[in-house]
């Protein structure tokens, strides 16, 4: 026995020595070439062996499968497939928004904090997937209580299709995961540049695993108390209608935006960030190309977000209307933000324009199904103004939100939710797997419907906003109390990318001397030329480090 072990040890030593020799030889090009030739020869031999075996053993053919006569299908047999295809394609587009968020956030931040942005976007996406699989989906979309669901943990016990939608259960799961991921990513936007990575992991568990799915259940869960509000025997029966949020102005964007606000408040501003009242202003974005393209990719993904929320292609007029309304609100908001910001900045500002159309997209997300194209233009145009004002208010409050997550998602999410109470056109009711049911249309204040819808929207928005903000503040303070929410001052000065991730995003590029900490030198029209941002080639230029 001992001998056997001894032999084995010997054998393993011999193998180890062989391996070491092999390694040595591998590092010698001549041997390496020889080795690979040998290896390829052996592999070829094996291939011929198998080929030979095949030629001997096979009779070539009989691979024809008899086809059963195809069963006769009715139109109804196509409904679930087509609605599932629609939901899945929409889910893919919503997932694709991650590329857009990553670009938008990375482009709008300083280069020194870019890798951190990239990591947070990737890791939030991964973490959110596992959490939503484990319990997030169960909390949000399982039945159980008016406050949270209690079935489908780890996707156990799932039926073939979700609820009465007829959509494949796992297609619906994927669609909703993509939404949850969006909410989670929005949060990180206002916390760029100073959040420690462990802190990010911890608060992300809180957001993706608890805040979003539980609060979301209230509005979108099968028995959520805001979803059933206003009917007999449910929450506030006197309101007369339930809370409506077609694709998530509140559920996704307000939640994401207000968690972001809580995070930005608890963190405080980045080192070196001077506010307007201190003679400063927002730090400069480091790559406007990346940011703007990211904005376009988000817009592209929104075509999954809003039209996909019908979960039904059979409501084909509905998906067309939602897609067009989404577009028109974005167009109007982009232009209104640009024109409204012009007198303030005296330039045609690209950041405001991009955040403008994003604000329009956030705003139309709630009412997209129930308003007319003209209503969409109006409510979008208002969103474009609101986002510019909200950026100023944050500046005034000395809150550092590097990409404008709070104005775009937090504030315009509220506006969009309320706007339904004003602009619901009185023509459209509910979508469904076989088509629209417009027998009980929603009508807003401006279309003669009185205050009913507006009241329900205000109640829902207020409950969700206030709860989210309170719980998020508690969460952020708790993570902060552990000492991991904010990176050390030393780490922040060094650059969070180097400190947390060991590498800058663009190791090869030489940076302009004014590039820190405000993100770039001051550019005032007339006093600056891009020609100046340039490196002199001269021998007198020696001390490249700050000493």
Can you tell me which of 347, 392, 451, 483 binds a second copy, judged by CB under 8 A?
347
If you ran DSSP here, which 8-state letter would residue 445 be given?
G
450 binds a second copy (CB under 8 A): no
422, two tokens: 């004003």
Which of positions 99-138 make contact with a second copy (CB under 8 A)? 99, 102-103, 106-107, 110-112, 114-115, 118-119, 121-123, 125-130, 133
Which of positions 476-515 make contact with a second copy (CB under 8 A)? 477, 493-495, 497-515
Residue 257 beta carbon to a second copy: minimum distance, rounded to whole angstroms = 15
Residue 45 beta carbon to a second copy: minimum distance, rounded to whole angstroms = 9
- Number of residues counted as binding a second copy (CB under 8 A): 216
Q: Buried (b) or exposed (e) across 76-112, using 16+ Cβ within 10 A?
A: eeebbeebbebbbbbbebbbbbbbbbbbbbbbbbbbb
150 binds a second copy (CB under 8 A): no
Residue 227 beta carbon to a second copy: minimum distance, rounded to whole angstroms = 8
Return the number of the residue (323 or 445) whose C-beta is nearest a second copy.
323
458 binds a second copy (CB under 8 A): no
Return the number of the residue (108 or 415) whose C-beta is nearest a second copy.
108
Residue 534 beta carbon to a second copy: minimum distance, rounded to whole angstroms = 4
Mapping DSSP to helix (H, G, I), strand (E, B) and coil, where does residue 536 land? Answer: coil
Which of positions 283-342 make contact with a second copy (CB under 8 A)? 284-290, 292-293, 295-297, 299-300, 303-304, 307, 313-314, 316-317, 319-321, 323-324, 327-328, 330-332, 334-335, 338
Which of positions 169-198 make contact with a second copy (CB under 8 A)? 169-174, 177, 197
The candidate with the shortest Cα–Cα distance to 326, out of 246, 208, 427, 216, is 246
396 binds a second copy (CB under 8 A): yes
Distance CA 229, CA 75 (A): 35
393 binds a second copy (CB under 8 A): no
Return the number of the residue (16 or 528) whose C-beta is nearest a second copy.
528
The candidate with the shortest Cα–Cα distance to 320, out of 329, 310, 331, is 310
78 binds a second copy (CB under 8 A): yes
Give 187-204 as a 3 state SS string: HHHCCCCCECHHHHHHHH
348 binds a second copy (CB under 8 A): yes
Distance CA 510, CA 508 (A): 7
Distance CA 436, CA 318 (A): 7
Beta bridge partners of 149: 144
Name the one range near a second copy by CB under 8 A: 1-9, 33-41, 402-410, 414-422. 33-41
Residue 123 beta carbon to a second copy: minimum distance, rounded to whole angstroms = 7
Residue whose tokens read 């993904």: 301
Distance CA 289, CA 437 (A): 44
DSSP 451-496: THHHHHHHHHHHHHHHHHHHHHHHHHHHHHHTT-SB--HHHHHH-H
């Amino acid at each position: 026995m001992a001998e056997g072990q001894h032999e084995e040890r010997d054998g393993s030593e011999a193998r180890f020595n062989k391996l070491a020799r092999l390694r040595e030889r591998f590092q010698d090009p001549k041997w390496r070439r020889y080795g690979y030739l040998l290896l390829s020869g052996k592999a070829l031999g094996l291939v011929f062996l198998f080929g030979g075996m095949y030629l001997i053993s096979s009779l070539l053919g009989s691979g024809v499968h008899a086809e059963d006569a195809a069963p006769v299908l009715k139109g109804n047999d196509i409904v679930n497939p087509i609605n599932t295809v629609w939901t899945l394609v929409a889910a893919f587009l919503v997932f694709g928004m991650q590329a857009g968020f990553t670009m938008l956030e990375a482009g709008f931040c300083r280069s020194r904090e870019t890798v951190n942005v990239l990591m947070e976007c990737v890791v939030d996406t991964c973490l959110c997937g596992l959490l939503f699989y484990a319990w997030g989906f169960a909390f949000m979309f399982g039945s159980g209580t008016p406050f949270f669901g209690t079935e489908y943990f780890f996707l156990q016990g799932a039926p073939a299709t979700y609820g009465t939608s007829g959509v494949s259960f796992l297609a619906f799961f994927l669609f909703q995961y993509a939404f949850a991921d969006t909410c989670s990513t929005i949060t990180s936007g206002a916390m760029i540049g100073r959040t420690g990575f462990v802190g990010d992991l911890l608060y992300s568990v809180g957001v993706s695993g608890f805040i979003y799915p539980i609060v979301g259940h209230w509005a979108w869960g099968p028995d959520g108390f805001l979803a059933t509000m206003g009917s007999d025997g449910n929450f506030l029966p006197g309101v007369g209608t339930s809370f409506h949020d077609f694709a998530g102005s509140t559920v996704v964007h307000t939640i994401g935006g207000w968690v972001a606000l809580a995070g930005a408040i608890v963190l405080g501003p980045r080192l070196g960030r001077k506010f307007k009242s201190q003679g400063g202003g927002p730090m400069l974005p480091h790559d406007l190309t990346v940011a703007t393209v990211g904005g376009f990719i988000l817009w592209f993904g929104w075509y999954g977000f809003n039209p996909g929320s019908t979960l039904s292609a059979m409501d084909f007029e509905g998906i067309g209307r939602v897609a067009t309304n989404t577009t028109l609100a974005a167009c109007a908001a982009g232009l209104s933000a640009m024109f409204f910001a012009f007198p303030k900045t005296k330039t045609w500002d690209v950041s405001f324009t991009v955040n403008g159309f994003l604000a329009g997209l956030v705003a139309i997300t709630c009412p997209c199904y129930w308003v007319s194209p003209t209503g969409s233009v109006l409510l979008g145009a208002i969103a474009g103004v609101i986002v510019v004002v909200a950026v100023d208010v944050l500046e005034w409050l000395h809150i550092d939100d590097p990409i404008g997550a709070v104005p775009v998602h937090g504030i315009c999410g509220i506006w969009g939710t309320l706007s339904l109470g004003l602009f619901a056109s009185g023509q459209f009711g509910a979508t469904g797997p076989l088509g629209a049911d417009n027998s009980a249309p929603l009508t807003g204040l401006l279309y003669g419907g009185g205050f009913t819808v507006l009241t329900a929207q205000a109640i829902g928005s207020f409950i969700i906003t206030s709860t989210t903000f309170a719980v998020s503040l508690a969460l952020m303070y708790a993570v902060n109390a552990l000492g991991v929410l904010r990176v050390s001052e030393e780490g922040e000065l060094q650059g969070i990318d180097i400190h947390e991730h060991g590498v800058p995003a663009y190791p090869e590029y030489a940076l302009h001397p004014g590039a820190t900490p405000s993100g770039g030198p001051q550019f005032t029209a007339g006093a600056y030329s891009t020609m100046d941002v340039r490196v002199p080639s001269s021998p007198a230029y020696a001390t490249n480090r700050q000493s």
